[in-house]
């Protein structure tokens, strides 16, 4: 069954979060022993912004960076990808966060974050209130910004208030990062509360288990719907994704790829695919299929955002890859 999300309208997509330097190991082994690392830029919200921009959307990304080489790398990266940098604030008192990632031939890479007291952790409600929201129709929020600091949690709540006041469509990716939270119950209660305001929520299986204690895609979707979300798309790894609004539901198969290079950033690509599809007026199933395609494409690249496609590259991928047989 195909249907449309009628209350999402074309316009800018607001994203707020922490952009980070990323150092990816050039060979397998512990980060403490690897001799060379490749440098790039990462950050969940930034990855989604890049994906949206390459597909012709108009993302508006807000962050804070330090007066250091990593901050400069982020700004240059955004400019190279034609992202508006007017909401990138330089904080000379704080550093830019970074992360390290192992290279793995089997399984997910290990990631290590160095973001405590970073420039982005000073984002607050006042920064949100100062935003010019003219032309912004969508807010995409993740569960990474809230635990960075008390001010970031306040900013997240202020973003939701501003979105509702300005009749924006709210998209939320729980994006669990347990290491950032002071305890598991605070993480669960806060993310459930944020998700309750979302028009669209994009959990994975692990997030369903952690936040609601259920693991079937149908049960995860229902749990988020009962919690207040309006449309739920449950990411089911390489198999695909399940979508439901409580009245209608569908399982959308993923795409078959020959091998997986790196899984980090796949969820961000998925979010960019779904949001761009909905903004273009695609049916929910078609938008979710696009999300599956971007997630699959991203598994073919080491960088968290390098593989995010242009419309032509997306069309070539979907034409040349088969869907998973369910």
Query: Among all residues, which ones are annotated catalytic?
Result: 268
Residue 302 phi, psi (nearest 5): -75, -45
Q: What residue has token string 């007017």?
A: 86
From CA 258, how far away is CA 265, in angstroms rounded? Answer: 18
From CA 308, how far away is CA 266, in angstroms rounded? Answer: 10
Instruction: Provide the H-helix boundaries in 55-183.
Output: 69-80, 125-129, 150-165
- Under DSSP, the state recorded for 222 is H
Is 134 exposed, middle or buried (CB count within 10 Å of its CB: 0-12, 13-18, 19+)?
Answer: exposed
Q: What angle do CA 100, 103, 108 make, to 5 degrees?
A: 90
Contacts of 314-321 with C-beta under 8 Å, sequence gap 24+, read: 314/55, 314/290, 317/255, 317/293, 318/255, 318/289, 318/293, 321/255, 321/256, 321/257, 321/293, 321/296
- Closest to 222 (Cα-Cα) out of 201, 237, 239, 236: 201
Cβ atoms of residues 116 and 122 within 8 Å: no
Residues present in the chain in total: 326
Name the token pair of 216.
């079937």
């Amino acid at each position: 069954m195909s249907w449309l999300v009628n209350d999402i309208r074309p316009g800018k997509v607001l994203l707020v979060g922490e952009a980070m330097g990323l150092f990816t190991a050039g060979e397998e082994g512990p980060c403490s022993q690897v001799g060379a690392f490749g440098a790039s830029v990462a950050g969940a919200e930034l990855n989604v912004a890049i994906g949206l921009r390459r597909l012709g959307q108009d993302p508006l990304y807000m962050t804070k960076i330090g007066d250091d080489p990593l901050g400069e790398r982020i700004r240059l990266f955004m400019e190279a990808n034609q992202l508006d940098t007017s909401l990138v604030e330089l904080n000379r008192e704080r550093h830019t966060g970074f992360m390290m990632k192992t290279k793995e031939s089997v399984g997910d890479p290990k990631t290590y974050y160095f973001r405590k007291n970073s420039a982005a952790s000073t984002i607050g409600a006042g920064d949100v209130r100062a935003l010019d929201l003219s032309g912004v129709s969508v807010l995409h929020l993740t569960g990474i910004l809230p635990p960075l600091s008390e001010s970031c949690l306040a900013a997240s709540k202020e973003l939701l208030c501003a979105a509702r006041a300005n009749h924006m469509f709210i998209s939320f990716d729980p994006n669990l990062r347990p290491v950032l939270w002071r305890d598991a119950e605070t993480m669960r209660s806060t993310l459930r509360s944020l998700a309750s305001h979302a028009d669209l929520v994009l959990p994975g299986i692990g997030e369903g288990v952690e936040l609601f204690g259920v693991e079937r895609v149908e049960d995860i979707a229902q749990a988020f719907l009962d919690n207040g979300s309006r449309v739920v798309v449950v990411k089911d790894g390489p198999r695909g994704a399940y979508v439901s609004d409580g009245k209608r539901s569908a399982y959308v198969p993923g795409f078959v790829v020959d091998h997986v290079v790196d899984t980090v950033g796949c969820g961000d690509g998925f979010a960019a695919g779904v949001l761009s599809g909905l903004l273009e007026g695609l049916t929910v199933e078609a938008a979710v299929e696009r999300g599956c395609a971007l997630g699959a494409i991203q598994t073919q690249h080491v960088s968290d955002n390098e593989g995010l496609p242009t419309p032509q590259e997306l069309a070539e991928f979907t034409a040349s890859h088969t869907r998973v047989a369910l």
